[in-house]
Chain A
Amino acid sequence: MPAAVLTAGAAAGKHAGRSLRPVLLAAATLLMLILVGLPVLAILLYALFPHINEWSLTAPFSALLTNLTDPALIGATLNSLRLSLAVTLLSALIALPLAFRRAQMGVRAGRIWDALLLVPFLIPPYIGALSWMQLLQTNGFSEQLLGFNLTGFLYSFPGIVAVMALHLFPMIYFPTSRAFAVIGSRYSDVARVFGGAPLQIFARIHLPMILPTLLSGGLIVFVLSIEEFGTPEILGNRFGFRVIVTAIHEKFSDWPIDLPGASVLSMILILLAFGAFHLHQRLAQRFSTAVENQSLIRPSGAPCLRQALIDLLLFGTAVSLAVLLPLLTIALSALQDTLSGGLALSNMSLRHISALFAPDSATAG
C-alpha cells in the first residue's frame, strides 16, 4: 500500500512538474531580464547617450570616441587581459596536482582538505589583499616576527597574480577533482600494465579527459579575475598598475563624475567576458569527452607512506598559503588595539571585536 501511494504521488509530481516547467522557465527568464538585463541596458544607454541621466538623448555616441581613443584605456585593457590569463594559468597549475591527488585519497582525509579549501571563498578579495599587505609589507607581520619582508614581490605583477590565484584556485580544484574521481583508475591501470610512466599517463590520459571541466573552471576564474576590484585596487595602485575595473572606479570616485566613460569601459568588460565565454564554448565542444561506465569506486587500501607524506606536503602547503596565512593575519589584525602598536602582547585587545556588537555598529565606519 505505501508503495502504491508513493508511486501515485511521484506520478502526480511528475505531471505537475511537466505543466509547471514552461511557467518556471518564463519566470526565470523574466527574473534574469530584470536582474541582469536592466542593469546592462542602463550601462549600454549611458555609453551611447551620455546625457541619459537627464532623460536627454543629446550628443549621442560622443562618449564612445573620446573614451575608446584614450591611450590609457588600451593599456588598462591589455593589463586586464594579461592579469586574468596569468591568474587563470597559475590557478590551474596550483589546482591540478591537488585535484589529481585528491581523487586518489581516502574519504576522510579528502573531506578535511576539501572543507579547508572552501575557506578562500569566504574571504572577500579586498580583505584578502589587505591581509597579504599587512603580512608582507615593510615592517609587516613577517618582518616583525621573522625579520623579512616581500614588499618588492607583493607590489609587482607576479605578486598580484599570486595573491589572486591563491584566492581563486579552488574554483578549478573542486570540479577537476570530481572529474578525476569519475575517470577512476581503470584507464591508468591499463596504461600502467602497458608500461606507461606516471607523468605520461597523466598528460596523455587524465589531462585530456578532464579538459572540459578544466576549461569551465578556467573560464570562471578568468571572468572572476577580470572583474575583480579589490586586489588590483589595493596592490596595483602601489606600482601604477591599472586595469579596466580600477579605471571604471576612478571615473566616479571624484568630481568630475564620468558615468558615460565608466559605462563605455563596462561595455568593454562585458564584451571581454562574452568573448571568453564564446571561446570556452568552442573549445569545450572540440575537446568534449565522455566517460563510459563511470567508476565511482573509492580507491581501496591505504596509500603507501611515501605517497601519504607527499600528499600531506602538497595539501599542507596549499592550505597554509591560501587559508592559514590570510586567516591568521586577519585574526591578528582584528586583535590589534592600534595599527601603530605592532605585534606585541600589550597591543592586543578585543576592542574592535566588541565594537561590532555595539548598538551603533551598523553606521560606524
Chain B
Amino acid sequence: MKTVVAALAVGFAFITPTFAATPLVVYSAGPATLSAELARTFEAETGTPVELFQSTAGKIMARYQAEKSNPHADIMISASWGHALTLDAAGDLLAYSSPNAATVPDSLKTDSYVAQGAAALAIAYNPNSGLPAPQHWADLTQAAYKGQVTMPDPAKSGSALTLVQGLVAQDSDAAWSLFGDLAANDLLVPGANKAALNPVLQGARGVVFGAVDYIVIGAKAKGERIEVVYPDEGTVLAPRPIMIMKSSKQAEAAKQFVDFMLSEKGQALVAEHYILPARTDIEARRPGWDDLTIIDFDAARAAAQAAETKAKFAAVTAR
C-alpha cells in the first residue's frame, strides 16, 4: 500500500507542472528590486507567471551560454548593449518591434532588441573628500586627484567598457593618453561598478571615473554624500537591452512582456530606479535626454573590437 501511495505521489509530482500555466522565464541583470517589481506587476496584469533569474549581466550571459543545448530563457535583460549585438549577430534573437517603442530614440532600438532604459556614465565624487569639484574627464589627471580616483574595470563592467569605447571613438590618441595619465595619477581599478564606488563612499578614495549614474543617484537619495557630474565634452549611454530569445516556446507571452516593459507603467517602474527610461515621453527622475551630451559612436564596430580595447586598457593602466 505504502509503495503504491509513494509511486502515485512521485507520479503526480511529475505531472502537475504541465497543468499549471508555463511560466515566462526571464534572466535579468541590474537592480534586483526593479526586476522583481517588473515581474510581479506583469504577473498581476497578464496572469502569466514569471520565473525570474536575477544576477549580473555577465552571469546571465554565462548561464545562457551554458544552457545552449537546452535553453530556458525566454527573455533576457542585460546591462550591456554589446551582449545584444553579439547575440543578434549569432542569430539568437527573435525579431520584434513593440508598438510601444514608437517614442524610443532610434539609437536605442533595432528590429530584434530594444532598450528598457539607459544609464549614463559620469564622474561621481565624495564632497567630504575635500577635493575640488571635477568638471571634465581630464581634470582627474591633475595632481590634486593623485591617489584619489577609482574606475570600474572595463573587463568586468560593460558600462565602463562602453565609456572607454566612446572616448576612444571620439579621439583615440587623446583617450589613450588620458588613461595613461590617470594610471600615472595612481588610478585604482578594483573590479566592477560597486567595487569602484564603495571606496569613494567610504572615504578611502575621492572620485569615480565612469560611475553608472543611476546607482550613484540612488545612493544619494538614500543619504550618501556623493555628487554626479556629467562632463560637457560628452559621455556615453549604457543602454539596457531587452531581448526575446529565438529558442523561446512562449513567443507571444515574451512579446507581451516587452510591450509591458515599454508601457507607461513599465517605464515608470524603470524611472523610479533613476534609470533613464527608453521612451522620451516618460519623465525621468534624473537628468534626462536634453540634459546630457552624448558621444555618438558606432557600437557595432566597437563591439567587434571589444577584446582589443579591453587588452589595451589593461596594458595602459597596468601598474
Q: Which residues of A contact B (CB under 8 A)?
A: 53-55, 134, 137-140, 151, 233, 237-240, 250, 252-257, 259, 337-342, 360, 363-365
What are 10 residue pairs bridging A and B, where the CB atoms are less than 8 Å apart in the complex?
A139-B202, A240-B318, A250-B155, A253-B58, A254-B61, A255-B82, A255-B306, A338-B222, A340-B225, A365-B32
> Is B224 an interface position by the 8 A CB rule?
yes
Contacting pair B191 A257 (CB below 8 A): no
Give the residue name and chain of the B residue nearest to A46 (CB): B66
Contacting pair A255 B61 (CB below 8 A): yes
Residues of A within 8 A of B61 (CB): 254-255, 257
Query: Are A340 and B226 also in contact (CB < 8 A) when A53-B65, A253-B58 are?
Result: yes
Residues of A within 8 A of B190 (CB): 237-238
Nearest chain B CB to A297's CB is how many angstroms away?
A: 52
Q: How many Å lie between the Cα of A364 and that of B32 in the bound state?
A: 6
Contacting pair B195 A252 (CB below 8 A): no
Query: Are A259 and B66 also in contact (CB < 8 A) when A250-B156, A338-B222 are?
Result: yes
Contacting pair A252 B33 (CB below 8 A): no
Give the residue name and chain of the A residue nearest to B126 (CB): A340
How many residues of chain B get a CB closer than 8 Å to chain A's CBs? 49
Give the residue name and chain of the A residue nearest to B197 (CB): A339
> Is B280 an interface position by the 8 A CB rule?
no
> Is B223 an interface position by the 8 A CB rule?
yes
Q: How many Å lie between the Cα of A364 and that of B36 in the bound state?
A: 9
Nearest chain A CB to B205's CB is how many angstroms away?
A: 8
Q: How many Å lie between the Cα of A134 and that of B156 in the bound state?
A: 23
> Is B198 an interface position by the 8 A CB rule?
yes
Contacting pair A253 B59 (CB below 8 A): yes
Contacting pair B65 A338 (CB below 8 A): no
Residues of A within 8 A of B58 (CB): 252-255, 257
Residues of A within 8 A of B226 (CB): 340
Residues of A within 8 A of B66 (CB): 53, 259
Residues of A within 8 A of B204 (CB): 137-140, 151
Query: Are A259 and B202 also in contact (CB < 8 A) when A254-B157, A340-B224 are?
Result: no
Nearest chain A CB to B74's CB is how many angstroms away?
A: 19
8 closest A-B pairs by beta carbon, nearest first, are A365-B32, A139-B203, A339-B201, A363-B36, A252-B62, A340-B225, A254-B58, A53-B68
> Is B172 an interface position by the 8 A CB rule?
no
Residues of A within 8 A of B202 (CB): 134, 137, 139-140, 339-340
> Is B188 an interface position by the 8 A CB rule?
yes
Give the residue name and chain of the A residue nearest to B192 (CB): A253
Contacting pair A255 B158 (CB below 8 A): yes
Query: Are A340 and B201 also in contact (CB < 8 A) when A252-B58, A255-B158 are?
Result: yes
Give the residue name and chain of the A residue nearest to B203 (CB): A139
Query: Are A240 and B33 also in contact (CB < 8 A) when A137-B199, A138-B203, A338-B225 are?
Result: no
| Contact mask for chain B residues 27-63; partner A; CB cutoff 8 A; 1 contact, 0 none | 0000111011000000000000000001011110110
Which residues of B, 188-217, contact A by the 8 Å Cβ criterion?
Answer: 188, 190-192, 195, 198-199, 201-205
Residues of B within 8 A of A55 (CB): 69
> Is B109 an interface position by the 8 A CB rule?
no
Residues of B within 8 A of A240 (CB): 318-319
Q: How many Å lie between the Cα of A363 and that of B36 in the bound state?
A: 7
> 5 extra interchain contacts, Cβ-Cβ under 8 A, other than A253-B155, A254-B161?
A53-B67, A138-B205, A255-B83, A257-B62, A364-B33
Q: How many Å lie between the Cα of A239 and that of B57 in the bound state?
A: 25
Residues of B within 8 A of A255 (CB): 58, 61, 80, 82-83, 86, 158, 306
Q: How many Å lie between the Cα of A323 and that of B201 in the bound state?
A: 26
Query: Are A237 and B195 also in contact (CB < 8 A) when A139-B203, A140-B202, A255-B83 are?
Result: yes
Query: Are A257 and B224 also in contact (CB < 8 A) when A233-B191, A237-B195, A340-B203 are?
Result: no
Contacting pair B31 A257 (CB below 8 A): no
> Is B307 an interface position by the 8 A CB rule?
yes
Identify which of A250, A338, A339, A341 gathers the most chain B CB atoms within 10 Å of its CB.
Answer: A339
Residues of A within 8 A of B307 (CB): 256
Which residues of B, 126-172, contact A by the 8 Å Cβ criterion?
Answer: 126, 128, 155-158, 161
Contacting pair B225 A254 (CB below 8 A): no
Query: Are A53 and B69 also in contact (CB < 8 A) when A137-B199, A250-B155 are?
Result: yes
Q: How many Å lie between the Cα of A138 and that of B150 in the bound state?
A: 14
Give the residue name and chain of the B residue nearest to A233 (CB): B191
Give the contacting residue for B203; candidates A253, A342, A360; CB below 8 A: A342
Contacting pair A340 B33 (CB below 8 A): no
Contacting pair B223 A365 (CB below 8 A): no
